[in-house]
Amino acid sequence: MAALSAFRKEAQEPLSNVIAVDIGGTRFRVGLFDEGGKRVRVSEDATNRSGGRPWMLAQMEREFRTFQAESGEPIRACGISFGGPVDFAGQQVTSIVAPGWENFPLSSWVKETLGVPCLLDNDANAGALGEYRFGTGRGCESIFYVALSTGIGGGFVCEGKVIRGKDTLAGELGHLPMADSGPRCDCGARGCLEAFSSGSAIGKMAREWGERRTDVMPRMVELSGGAVERVTAREVALAAAEGDPIASRIFRDAARWLGRGLLTVIRIVNPDKIVLGGGVSQAGKLLLDPIHDVLDERKSAALPATTEIVIAELGNYSALYGAVALALDAR
């Protein structure tokens, strides 16, 4: 930073800050960062889904104005991670699952309303970029980031560039076809990885167990507040960590399906690291151990692989730091 500061002074360019935004289905975060990617301040709160796009835009503008007033340096750019489909080339949200966002030119709105350039990407690509630039991917040539949350997303960064593919569908790990039959995925197909290993899938499997045999899952029900219908992946993970046999079985099965999907990633793109992020990844060893079991069972002497599988260093902030990277690129 000393050399950078000297350069700025010599060139008579002012130091600057950037705004990073992470819009998720359950929470949103807005952060002020300096030009080196160092966090100055971050605010976060629950997402008001019923408020839709107007509510979220109002929060973004409010936080931007607040940070702008408090910042000791000018704000030069904005980066946004959005939890849903994004047209990166067109810099617009294309989500059909979040009401009010379909085909909305979010980057243009930021430029027109807040007066700074903006780059927008989906949360999985942003998570990949965040871990590559600021997290466990530093020093790697390539990483594949997996967002394990309500659904399953993926992002692939190679030599500093997010690989998006012809139709911007690269990295859609959650929609790998794992079986000819099985649970129906939100995409409409059956047997997608997301239908076996996502947070939603884990919670659904537990609730189905509860509908049949409430007597065998008292701990999960207790953790959820006493109602089978409120059991989620969080309660499954907590109960499994305590040794609950049914919770352990549900989580292990989900992790093993994920292991098969990750083996596909290793075989096709062979990244330096696969980084697991999102809420489900916080299960740590409960997730990693069954994954490594699958890889060990299916390893081949003819196809040795040294790809590491690790938990995201930035935790729940991978996508926010990806938004920082986007903002720095947008300046």
Q: What is the pLDDT along the chain (331 residues), one digit of tens a residue?
A: 343 333 333 344 446 899 999 998 888 999 999 988 999 999 999 998 888 899 999 999 999 999 998 888 899 999 999 988 899 999 999 976 677 899 999 999 999 999 999 999 999 999 999 999 999 999 999 999 999 998 899 999 999 999 998 888 889 899 999 988 888 888 888 889 999 999 999 999 999 988 887 777 888 989 988 888 899 999 999 999 999 999 999 999 999 999 999 999 999 999 999 999 999 999 999 999 999 999 999 988 888 889 999 999 999 999 999 999 999 999 8
- Which domains, and CATH codes, for the chain? 2-130+317-330 (3.30.420.40), 139-313 (3.30.420.40)
- β-pair partners for 28: 23, 45
pLDDT of residue 63: 94
pLDDT of residue 97: 67
Element (H, E) at 239: helix 233-241
- How far is the C-alpha of 310 from the C-alpha of 308, rounded, in Å? 6
pLDDT of residue 9: 39
Q: What is the pTM of this model?
A: 0.90
Two tokens, residue 321: 């730091």
For CA atoms 82, 88, 93, 98, the dihedral sign is negative
- β-pair partners for 225: none
- How far is the C-alpha of 69 from the C-alpha of 89, rounded, in Å? 32
Cβ-based neighbours of 212, under 8 Å, separated by 6 or more: none
pLDDT of residue 4: 35
pLDDT of residue 112: 96
Instruction: Give me the torsion for CA of 292, 294, 297, 299, rounded to 10°.
Output: -70
